[in-house]
Amino acid sequence: MEANSSVAALRLQGILTHLSPPSSTIPPPPLPLSLSTLSSQQININMSSYFANVPQAPADGILKLSVLSRADTNSTKVDLGVGAYRDDSGKPWVLPVVRKAEQQLAADPQANHEYLGVGGLPALTQGAQKLIFGADSEAIKQQRVYSIQTISGTGANMVAAVFLKQFKQPADAAVYISKPTWGNHRSIFETAGHVVREYRYCNYTTLGLDIQGMLDDLRAAPRGQIILLHACAHNPTGIDPTTEQWQQIADVMQERSHFPLFDCAYQGFATGDVTRDAYAIRLFVSRGFELLVAQSFAKNMGLYGERTGCLHAVTALPEVLPQVSSQLNRLSRATISTAPAYGAKIAGTVLQDAELYEEWLGSMEMMSRRIKKMRDLLRDKLVALGTPGSWDHVSQQIGMFSFTGLSKKKVDRLREEYHLYMTDDGRISVAGLNSGNIDYVAKAIDVVVRSD
């Protein structure tokens, strides 16, 4: 078989060399070459391709799932895949304050599409700072915080990753991510050139926090590692440390001189209260840590596709801020030049207008309440059905996602037989549940759990 194909390929090379114009120095095509592309009509002069050896890449898991889900036309379909908020009718929900801000912008005769400065829109970055660190934050008052606008949370993580790769100390510090974490985290930090390690996080038996495992791993790590922490509403598990546990984590991090990198994509979405959801970050700042915070407005302001986010750097001294900001600016310039304006203007408007801000807080509270209600309902229904196992974790977990504990086999079965979509790790986006589908979902889970 191999001999045949190499003979065929050699014959091919001969034909192609014959076809190429004599003056060209086009190299012969790399082997193997797909024979099916060489009908006589399709032959063109430039037969070689620099990209002939580019391998097919695997599709992104979560996004692949949404492609599958979108293609499924079955009326019972339930999409619990992508982490985007849905209302009780299962529809995307654009927040009223967002619509109001958009109307304001549309009515403004001075509005234009000019480039933002490299740091981003001040109305956004300043408002975002206050949101995360508190309006009365000492760190902000002491001018120890630099904030740069980013392409949502992913962009903030990536800027942080590239910055840390260049400037972290020690130079061989690894980035530690929770086991498990958002799928894109490992990719981001490895792409930026870091070694990525894991710390224990999820107790797969209780589906709660493995606090002892986490503390042990942080203590065992070499000094000065970079620790990626989810500020609230952990993705994918929905398991958050309590305030006491956060204090223990801060203690160990201080002991081992670790560097905290917070990913804050759900502020306001976890408990419904932005101050409570910022507890961990503010605790670390008050303890004197220097840190980075990647912040997203995708979920809590429903700005998803507008790609609105920030990266905040908190330093111990104001003197080093100019150096830090200049380097963050430089990195951003080489990737995107400047950040997208529209989403920033919407968010900036909401953050800076007292009335809109209050209304926004109310919307977040409403979204998180609906999600909590769905959690409790799902748990109650599973208990009522007598579904084997304990389901308390569904209502104890927090934020958009719940780590159900369902195996891949069950996940596949739910998808294939019940048109119920969730990621392979058993994570459901609770926001996809509503009063219309919750019975169906509970029954489907019940059947599948009982089946083996």
**Residue 112 makes contact with other proteins by CB under 8 A:** yes
- The dihedral through the CA atoms of 248, 253, 255, 256 has a sign that is positive
Site string for other proteins, 132-161 (x = CB under 8 A): -------------------xx-xx--x---
CA–CA separation, 321 vs 325, rounded Å?
A: 6
59 contributes a contact to other proteins by CB under 8 A: yes
Whole-number Å distance between alpha carbons of 20 and 25: 9
Contact 77, 418 (CB under 8 A): no
**Whole-number minimum distance, CB 235 to other proteins, in Å?**
13
Whether residue 246 lies in the annotated active site: no
Stretch that binds other proteins, among 283-291, 368-376, 385-393, 399-407 (CB under 8 A): 283-291
Distance between CA atoms of 39 and 329, rounded to whole angstroms?
52
Residue 261 as a binder of other proteins (CB under 8 A): the answer is no
What's the CA dihedral at 386, 388, 389, 391 to 10 degrees? -40
Q: How many CB atoms lie within 10 A of CB 369?
A: 11
Q: Could you say whether residue 305 binds other proteins (CB under 8 A)?
A: yes
Q: How far is the CB of 72 from other proteins (least distance, A)?
A: 17
Write out the two tokens for 251: 């203690």
Q: How far is the CB of 130 from other proteins (least distance, A)?
A: 22
Catalytic residue check, 79 = no
Q: Which is nearer to other proteins, 189 or 418 (CB)?
A: 189
Q: Compute the half-sphere exposure of residue 69: CA atoms within 13 Å on the CB side of its CA.
A: 19
Query: With binding defined as CB under 8 A, does residue 303 bind other proteins?
Result: yes
Three-class secondary structure of residue 409 per DSSP = helix
Which of 5, 9, 77, 102 forms a contact with other proteins (CB under 8 A)? Answer: 102
Catalytic residue among 182, 246, 360, 391: 182
Say whether 245 sits in a helix, a strand or coil: helix
CA 186 to centroid of chain Cα atoms: 11
- CA atoms of 388 and 380, how far apart (whole Å): 13
Residue 327 sits in the site that holds other proteins (CB under 8 A): yes
How many Cβ atoms are within 10 Å of 310's Cβ, its own excluded?
33
C-alpha span between 255 and 370 (Å, rounded): 40
- Which residue is catalytic, options 100, 299, 381, 410? 299
Residue 8 C-beta: closest distance to other proteins, Å: 18
**262 in Cβ contact with 281 (< 8 Å):** yes
Q: Which two tokens stand for residue 335?
A: 């990737």
Residue 81 near other proteins by CB under 8 A: no
- Contact between 176 and other proteins by CB under 8 A: the answer reads no
Contact call for residue 52 and other proteins (CB under 8 A)? yes
Minimum CB separation from other proteins for residue 319, in Å? 7
- Identify residues 16-45 at the interface with other proteins (CB under 8 A): 23-27, 34, 37, 42, 44-45
Query: Which of 260, 272, 340, 432: binder of other proteins (CB under 8 A)?
Result: 340
263 has catalytic annotation: yes
To other proteins, the closest distance from the beta carbon of 80 in angstroms equals 16
Q: Vertex 220, ends 218 and 224: CA angle to 5°?
A: 65
Compute the radius of gyration of the chain from its Cα atoms: 26
Near other proteins by CB under 8 A: residue from 16, 78, 118, 209: 118
Q: Contact with other proteins (CB under 8 A): which of 126, 181, 237, 315?
A: 315
Number of shown-chain residues binding other proteins (CB under 8 A):
92
**5, 13, 104, 187: which one binds other proteins (CB under 8 A):** 187
- Residues with catalytic function: 182, 263, 299
